[in-house]
Structure 1
């Protein structure tokens, strides 16, 4: 499976962006221009069953990670300089990182263990409900940190979301993938997905954990400036980033 890619910028340094569950490549709309200004060629992927990418009611998490790897390799013949994954996208990044080999991997408020084995019918019903209620108006009412543009983008992502693909992944095999030493985990504080106990383990394994107090799960929606400031290796022209 090759995924839909929103491409921007040019140059030898490539940045790959992987959105969270029920999102799309458009979720990065405020981040992409900064990466282009920093000299990156940006590849923002629609994950399987999301955005304009193919659907597959038999998809597994490993299959979704395969699709990420195959799609990136179809665009670039060398490892990306940067790969940023959020939530579910960060889980796929962790599963794909050994093959994709980004010079810098950033995991944003990311669960890096996946239980799998969910009840398919119950999960499908929940995803259908989530899809139905994520309208722009409802998102603005329930997420005060969303701008009007954020709500429109996420509402459009929900319209395009395929519950069957994601339900198949949730019902499939689980797994756990540890970020490699030198990776960055950027989390909201407090975080439902990266606990203080997780932070201690990550630090012990050479992973740099950075926190943004008070941020929402999609940290760049609620704390955009803090998100950018937390990653000077990527966004700051005064810091030598990955090449």
Structure 2
């Protein structure tokens, strides 16, 4: 599937940006320009069922939104051999499954959804209900966000296909055995997706792991400057 993309910058180096569930390319509204300022051409996708990209096809949510289908979409849409690829949450799961074919020079996984079976509150009904969240609820859940991020959240929720949440349970998730390319994992402070033992195991497997103090799951929106600091040496 060819995905909708959005670009910032026109530099010689390419950075790929892959968002999480319920979001789209607009989640990178500050990261994309920051990378452009560093000389990148930053290319952000809308994953299938998100933003302006097509919905999945098939008779069931699982068929429409299988993890391997998300990964194939990246391969069908994005250039190979980029300098950098960043995936957040579901985007970290998608990037992990595509990275051996995209072959970026470096990969960054931001609070990636690699251990979904242990994630607290993984109830598809909660995700689906959140599609109707209002501004006050989003502000209360994300007190560190700028007003523009709340605007983006409202817009991306309206553009999102909730069947992608119904497809999550039962899809195989596990920690990667080794990085396909040099890889950094940036965790939320007190991540509900990867715990301290997971972080330690990833280090033994060749991943660098950093945490952004005080940041929640959407690290790059909770603390933009802290996120960029965590990427030092990788961007």
Q: TM-score, normalised by structure 1?
A: 0.85
8 Å contact from structure 2 (residues 114, 175) kept in 1: yes
Post-superposition Cα deviations, 1:116-158, rounded to whole Å, max 9, x if no partner, equal xxxxxx73x443311112x333211332111110000011000
Q: In structure 2, what is the equivalent of residue 18 of structure 1?
A: 18
Q: Which residue of 1 aligns with 2:69?
A: 63
Tell me how far apart the structure 1 counterparts of residues 127 and 189 of structure 2 sit (CA, whole Å): 26
C-alpha displacement of 1:193: 1.3
- Displacement after TM superposition at 1:166 (Å): 3.7
Show the counterpart of 2:161: 162
Q: TM-score, normalised by structure 2?
A: 0.88
What is the deviation of 1:171? 4.8
1:211 is paired with a residue of what secondary structure? strand
Equivalent in the alignment of 1:49: 49
Q: Work out whether residues 95 and 177 of structure 1, in 8 Å CA contact, stay in contact via their aligned partners in 2.
A: no
How many residue pairs were aligned?
A: 223
Query: 1:196 aligns to what?
Result: 196
Query: Higher helix fraction: Structure 1 or Structure 2?
Result: 1
1:171 and 1:36 map into 2 onto residues whose CA distance is 37
CA RMSD of aligned residues (A): 1.9
Q: Provide the C-alpha distance between the structure 2 equivalents of 1:38 and 1:126, rounded to a whole number of angstroms.
A: 38
Alignment of 1:43-192 (within 5 A): 43-56=43-56, 57=61, 58-59=63-64, 60-72=66-78, 76=79, 78-115=80-117, 123=124, 125-133=125-133, 135-168=134-167, 170-171=168-169, 173-176=171-174, 178=176, 180=179, 182-192=182-192
Contact 1:55 1:165 (C-alpha < 8 Å) held by counterparts: no
Unpaired segments ≥5 residues, structure 1: 116-121, 236-243
In structure 2, runs of 5+ residues without a counterpart are 118-122
Cα distance change on mapping 1:95 and 1:162 into 2, 3 Å: same
Structure 2: how far apart are the matches of 1:42 and 1:14? 6
Q: Distance in 2 between matches of 1:177 and 1:10?
A: 35
Runs of at least 4 residues of structure 1 off by over 3 A?
Answer: none
Q: Displacement, 1:51?
A: 0.7
SS in 2 for 1:83: strand
